Amino acid sequence: MLFLLVAPCHWGASTISLHMRLLRRHTSKSRGPRIFAAMNDAARVVVTGMGVVSPNGVGRREFWRACARGQSGTGPITLFDPADHDCRVAGEVRGFDVEAHLPAKTRRYGMRVVAMTLAATAEALADAGIDTRRLTEDDRRRTGVILGTGAAGIAFGEEQYEVYYRQGSRRVSPYSIVATFVGMLSSEVSMEHELRGMSHVVSTGCTSASDAMGYAFQSIQYGRVDRVITGGAEACIVPGIMAGFSRMGTMTKRNGDPARASRPFNSDRDGFVMAEGAWILVFESLASARRRGAEPQAEILGYGTTCDAYHRVRPEPTGEEAARAIELALEEASLPRDRIDYVNLHGTATELNDRIETRAVRLAFDGHSERLPTSALKSMTGHPQGACGAAGLVETVEAMREGWLPPTINYDKPDPACDLDYVANEGREADLQHAVVNCIAFGSKNSALVVRRWDRR
């Protein structure tokens, strides 16, 4: 394998990245330090900007302040009349002006998910110090958009079905197809900022944003692009979706106490609270960030994904494949398990998910799980479906930068089967160097990302 260490200087970043990844694959079982201590800057992937539209805070600073304090963003549903629904609470982004964030041509179909995505993207780009109006043509071609979502424009789709059944086919909007096409979400961002790199949407249920960010990470590592606008968005607090989840028995009925309805890992949890929002990040090669003089906020080290191949909605009981996704991410990061300081959990507050995720963390981290703090963001925001992995990564990056563990709120009745350190109810100081963001989805999907705090290096 020595030829990998003495690559000719004319090799491009993509080739170097590929050979480094092959070398790590052959050495990953040792879980030792990287052979390449000084990894090529073009293949290192950093976070340079973040933007947020969330139920418990619009803007990344407001979002983080709410998370650090343990502030809930869940409340009664106002986006439609939920009178005949079993679940009447949700994590809505309240007071958000949709039209203020939509291009004029998009207002014809006024999609909430597009408005939230564009608003969060604008903040992330500004945070990264990128003015897309001043990009060169080469920069536009070297900037991609890879987003995760489960439902995208489902709200507009539900409206148009109602129009069809009540008023007939001639009253249906001509935008009903393009507006509800899941892939249109990334196209809206690409068109708004005239970005000509790949423009893709990943839709894998609750792991959508995690998988989108994993794909963005790999695309930069392989030298296909220099930067990617990534993350996830969701706006599915709509009657049909809510009714469907309720019929599955996965949503809470704790309507009388909305702020405490999302109760991950409690013995009396009775289902998740639907949420919406957009969490967008700028991933960039370290070489690109340094050329621009941008200060990274964190570094992405690894991504792992597996499938239980077990059931459409129930996770496999042993948690082995969910654990393996974490292990694969650690292997790619070349980190031993005891170097992880924090896990941002999926933590939906459903009976099976919480118990099996706890089991998976214990399997992946073995004895280290006894000392490993974890927390569940969804206790504060509710469950933003396909966007939740991006929400978890933003929260984790902020936690690392601030040296503060965000809490799992509403935790007052421990479940003996859920016995990790969930940072119950109040945050606490911690020196966080490495963390895992974990996600589990319907369809037996599991994904995990490993992130490192950025210290000047």
Alpha carbons 169 and 171: distance in angstroms, whole number: 5
Q: Does 3 have pLDDT greater than 80?
A: no
pTM over 0.85: yes
Stretch 336-342: mean pLDDT, rounded? 98
Percent of the chain with pLDDT over 70: 90
Q: Select the more confidently predicted residue: 36 or 282.
A: 282
Q: In which band, very low, low, confident or very high, does the pLDDT at 6 lie, cut at 50, 70 and 90? A: very low
Question: So where are the chain's domains?
Answer: 45-292, 303-451
User: Which 3 state secondary structure label does DSSP give 193?
Assistant: helix
Q: Does 19 have pLDDT greater than 50?
A: no
Helix 208-221 crosses helix 388-402 at what angle (to 10 degrees)? 70
In Å, what is the CA distance from 324 to each residue of 215, 306, 361, 370? 18, 7, 10, 19
Q: How confident is the model over 100-148, as pLDDT tens digits?
A: 898 877 766 668 999 999 999 999 999 999 999 999 999 999 999 999 9
Nearest-CA neighbor of 148 among 381, 390, 447, 325?
390
Q: In which band, very low, low, confident or very high, does the pLDDT at 178 lie, cut at 50, 70 and 90? A: confident
Q: Say yes or no: do domains 45-292 and 303-451 share a fold.
A: yes
Q: In which band, very low, low, confident or very high, does the pLDDT at 13 lie, cut at 50, 70 and 90? A: very low
Q: Where are the beta strands (DSSP E) in 77-142?
A: 89-90
Domain 303-451, classified CATH 3.30.200.20, yes or no: no
Q: What is the pLDDT at residue 66? A: 98
Stretch 274-301: mean pLDDT, rounded? 98
45-292 CATH fold:
Peroxisomal Thiolase; Chain A, domain 1 (3.40.47)
Catalytic residues: 206, 346, 383
Alpha carbons 128 and 46: distance in angstroms, whole number: 11
Q: What is the pLDDT at residue 400? A: 98
Contact 455, 335 (CB under 8 A): no
Q: Does 26 have pLDDT greater than 60?
A: no
